[in-house]
Amino acid sequence: MVLFFGFILTIRRAVHLTTVLAKQITRRFYGRSHRKAYYTGCSSGGKQGLRSITSFPEDFDGMRTSCLSDFPGTLIGAPAYSWNHLNAYTLRVNMYQSDNSLPGYIPPEKVKFMAQQIINACDELDGVKDGVISNPRVCQFRPESLLCKYYPKATAECFTPAQVVNLANIFRDYVETNSTYIFPAFERGSEWLWSVTGRNWTLQPLYYSNLILNISAESRSPHSLNLSTIELADEINPGDIIANDPHLELFFNRGGKVIHYHGWADGLIPSRTSVDYYNRVERTIPSDFSDSYRLFMIPGMGHCKSGPGPWVFNNNSDTFHLDPLADMLKHLVDWVENGNAPEVLLGTKYINDTGPGVEFQRPICPYPGRSDLDWKGRLEGCKHLEMQIDVSQL
Ligand SMILES: [Ca+2]
């Protein structure tokens, strides 16, 4: 039995109750209970998955809920788990980019130009010239490099001082008063997915107004956000919508397996929110949990899908027929049922994103591993802080 959850916003018990009913329906239809239960979801679906394994760790389990050999498995993509802080970052970006009459507003054609400049500067840092930035954290592109040399004589291919400041703010992590870290910024390479229409960026721009501040439609303004507003949102936590609990021990102890993924070019939910979560789990559970939980950061993938990178791995599409190494759900089943942990994921980029032909494939190592590629994009090894995987054995 596999449950698919998408972008519909649900709260604490909704996933649990849906799961209970789904199991009953499955039993009624097939005349027997399921043997294994798997979960896959991205975005709000990823958040719901984290809620499930932390609040209801027995949900994705077999018919014998007390039997540890009946393992659960969960596939979590780009989770919007830190909903309050994610919306705070989105609102902050709105301050810079939602009004196209402001001098710092960056129009779509300049965003497109900037995106190409970033690709030009950082594409080959991973050793392969393919239009994909494999590790944006080593991309040193600076907004000021686009500053018009002869300002105020600006052109379509340079930025005014106000636009450079605006861009630097978008690329800067959101840190509030007293050095309070709120949320990571977008990565270099995510610009192609930015909302640059001059209106509010997506992701519930009225969340703070309607659910936290309870102010009228006439008073809605993203400019009202500050640290006390964010702390109020954390305190109210409407519908128990925050799913940032890093305590996965109960799920792990039941034999649970988690594959977590996030696109490095996500222009909707900044990529490092997943790295932040992984690091929090690492600080919470000091022992090695690589036999239970692995994170894959996907080069050049946008929000749950699409982008210039190898974004197809059975994450959001059932129209492709992939070999097991290139299918994350098959990896999860193999891990749960045969004990084979995914050492490397093979991401696929199809021609025109529809196939049937394959444009290229890229091996992706689990975080914090780094995929070392030769110039043809073939994997030379996964360099880990503590270990190095021998890919000839895969
Ligand atoms: Ca590249």
Q: How high is the pLDDT of residue 380?
A: 65
Q: How far is the CA of 386 from the centre of ligand 1 (A)?
A: 25
Q: How high is the pLDDT of residue 224?
A: 67
Q: How far is the CA of 134 from the centre of ligand 1 (A)?
A: 6
Alpha helices, DSSP H, located in the chain = 12-30, 44-55, 83-97, 108-122, 161-170, 207, 227-236, 249-253, 272-284, 328-338
Q: What residues does each domain of the chain span?
A: 2-81+243-369, 83-238
DSSP 187: P
Q: How high is the pLDDT of residue 285?
A: 95
Q: How high is the pLDDT of residue 9?
A: 45
* Tens-binned pLDDT, residue by residue, of the chain (394 aa): 554 444 344 566 788 888 888 889 999 999 998 888 888 889 988 998 898 888 877 665 422 233 333 347 888 899 999 999 998 888 888 777 777 788 888 888 888 999 999 999 999 988 889 999 988 988 989 899 999 987 777 677 899 999 999 999 999 999 999 999 999 999 999 998 886 555 554 445 577 877 888 776 545 455 568 899 999 999 999 888 899 999 999 899 888 999 999 999 999 899 999 999 999 999 999 899 999 999 999 999 999 989 999 999 887 655 566 677 788 988 999 999 999 999 988 899 989 888 788 898 888 999 987 776 666 666 666 765 443 444 433 3
Q: How far is the CA of 388 from the centre of ligand 1 (A)?
A: 22
Q: How high is the pLDDT of residue 323?
A: 72
Backbone angles phi, psi at 279, to 5 degrees: -65, -35
Q: How high is the pLDDT of residue 216?
A: 63
Around ion ligand 1, which residues have CB less than 5 A away? Answer: 123, 126, 128, 130, 132
Q: How high is the pLDDT of residue 317?
A: 58
Q: How far is the CA of 186 from the centre of ligand 1 (A)?
A: 18
Q: How far is the CA of 135 from the centre of ligand 1 (A)?
A: 9
Q: How far is the CA of 348 from the centre of ligand 1 (A)?
A: 14
CATH class of the structural domain 2-81+243-369: alpha beta
Backbone angles phi, psi at 39, to 5 degrees: -125, 140
Q: How far is the CA of 132 from the centre of ligand 1 (A)?
A: 4
Q: How high is the pLDDT of residue 2?
A: 52
Q: How high is the pLDDT of residue 92?
A: 83
Q: How far is the CA of 375 from the centre of ligand 1 (A)?
A: 9
Q: How far is the CA of 126 from the centre of ligand 1 (A)?
A: 5
In order, the DSSP letters of 370-392 are: EEEE-TTS-EEEEE-SS-EE-GG
**pTM above threshold 0.95:** no
Q: How high is the pLDDT of residue 174?
A: 94
